[in-house]
Amino acid sequence: MRINAPVAYILLYAALYAAFGVSSPFWPRFFETTKALGPQEIGIVLASGMFTRLFAGPLVGMFADQTGALRLALAICAALAAASAAALLWAHSFALLLFITIIQAASLAPTTSLADALSVNAARPQMAGKEFEYGWIRGSASLAFIFGTLTVGQLISRTDVTPIVWMNLLFLLLAAASTALLPPVVRRTWARTGGRSLIGELGELLQIYRFRMLILVSSSIYGSHAMHDGFAVVWWSAAGIEPSTISLLWSEAVATEVVVFL
């Protein structure tokens, strides 16, 4: 089955980012409520997942590039992340919970980069005779994130947050299935020039002053982002704020992304 390429990309991004929207703000609350983890343990779980992403994302991305199997790699990663989400319900020890979280983090790490590679490397699709911009796709993704966050906020309560898992699983499976609707990718052959290794090329990048400054600034931004994502919902819940209100507060910030991208 083939549908209009822009529509196919929007469906993919909407499903993927809706899955992020139902889970990203509330995973720490899930760990606290259903697994009785303390702040230190929550920090270890989240940090371990982020550390895993540093390696899993580039490795899977390079494999997908070299084999030309971007759609297949994205589908497998999304499906594995969905299975890992379901497995969290049956993890009753900290060690098992940590292991499953790492597997899910490794599965999710390449999904956004693979989706971006598919959307920007494909031939520029046309909609109603106009060039279709990436910002439209990414803006739709942020809208889907807001939808997911607001929806799950109405379904969970102070004592029952399991709808997070089931909605996350559902949207990830939809994302995996939507890869079948994407236009086929023309595989491009490439080879390294000059006999340089990957480490050598990375070394050349790090010699560029502006690149090092960019990494430093980005690290600071994402470091503060990690603290907010990890403990904002836990803090708001402890302050007596209802889940529905928390989802509204979180969505308010994401709404600004929609304005920027569109």
The total of other beta-carbon atoms located within 10 Å of residue 223's CB is 10
Question: Which tens digits make up the pLDDT trace of 119-164?
Answer: 875 545 554 455 667 777 888 888 899 999 999 999 998 888 999 9
What are the structural domains of the chain?
Answer: 5-185+198-261 (1.20.1250.20)
Structure tokens at 181: 């609707």
Confidence (pLDDT) at 61: 85
* Per-residue model confidence (pLDDT) at position 123: 45
**pLDDT tier at 86, thresholds 50, 70, 90:** very high
Instruction: Report the share of the chain in percent with pLDDT over 70.
Output: 87
Assess contact for 85 and 165: CB atoms under 8 A: yes
Considering the entire predicted model, what is its pTM?
A: 0.83
Which tops the pLDDT comparison, 5 or 25? 25
pLDDT tens-digit map of 25-84: 899 999 999 998 998 999 999 999 989 998 898 889 888 888 888 899 999 999 999 999
Reported confidence tier of residue 3, pLDDT bands at 50, 70, 90: low
d(CA 32, CA 47): 16
Is residue 102's pLDDT more than 50?
A: yes
